[in-house]
Amino acid sequence: MRVALLVTCLVDGMFPDVGQATVAVLERLGHQVEVPLAQTCCGQMHINTGYRRDALRLVRRTVAAFEGYEAVVAPSGSCVGSVRHQYAGLAAARGDTGLAAAATDLAARTFELSEFLVNVLGVTDVGAHYPHRVTYHPTCHSLRMLGVGEAPLRLLRAVRGIQLEELPAAESCCGFGGTFALKNPDTSTAMLTDKIRGILDTRAEIITAGDSSCLMHIGGGLSRLRAGVRPVHLAEILASEPAKVA
């Protein structure tokens, strides 16, 4: 299958290993992965903060950048949620019916990584090996907007060597929410504190999730506590392989 990577702003600018890991997993499964260079920000931040005219330009650019691909995959439930649930409505509200139709087509071809692997390809074992104690945080957009459900956990359970620990109050938000953390820092910090308490209770070495934004927030809190727990994106775990013996 010819697959395009929607790399996302955070991955492109701050966490490039996540994008590389996503490509590695898909190529391991035999798919041709391309990264359209015309892509920029998906526009989610602009839509959510009311800059709809600016967002519409980004929607138009994104729709054009991913035209013709069988599937578009992103290591982010947040950005996929925007493409799938905001694009067409925004275009229609601005009176651009052609763009709305094209956005609807793109939405049907755009997937978060775990749902693409499990629900589209029917794969749960990607050949990963990760001998660490891990707990999983289901991010809000993947859980509530996309409904990925058990897909990430099914993938993690199939990883060789992993010790997967259940996270208490897993479905509670970590407190990031993009600009929410900036506009409501005290509330965000309180939510993060609860999330970190749950992570530490698992005694895990690794906290994983499907969104770099949430992991950045959680990782910052863990770092300030010197907790010794590392944030690792789901894609990086799935891309891991046994060490080669020389």
Domain chopping of the chain, boundaries: 2-120, 133-239
Using CA atoms, how far apart are residues 65 and 170, in angstroms rounded to an integer? Answer: 35
Q: Taking the model in full, what pTM does it have?
A: 0.94
- Cα–Cα separations (whole angstroms), residue 7 to 18, 38, 101: 9, 11, 23
- Cα–Cα separations (whole angstroms), residue 221 to 87, 227, 233: 33, 9, 16
pLDDT digits (tens, 9 = 90+) for 160-215: 999 999 999 999 999 987 778 888 889 999 999 999 999 999 999 999 999 999 99
One-letter amino acid of 203: R
Using CA atoms, how far apart are residues 105 and 198, in angstroms rounded to an integer? Answer: 40
Which pLDDT score, from 0 to 100, does residue 244 have?
Answer: 66
Mean pLDDT, residues 139-155:
95
pLDDT digits (tens, 9 = 90+) for 70-86: 999 999 999 999 999 99
Task: Quote the radius of gyration of the chain (alpha carbons, Å).
Answer: 18
User: DSSP state, 119?
Assistant: I
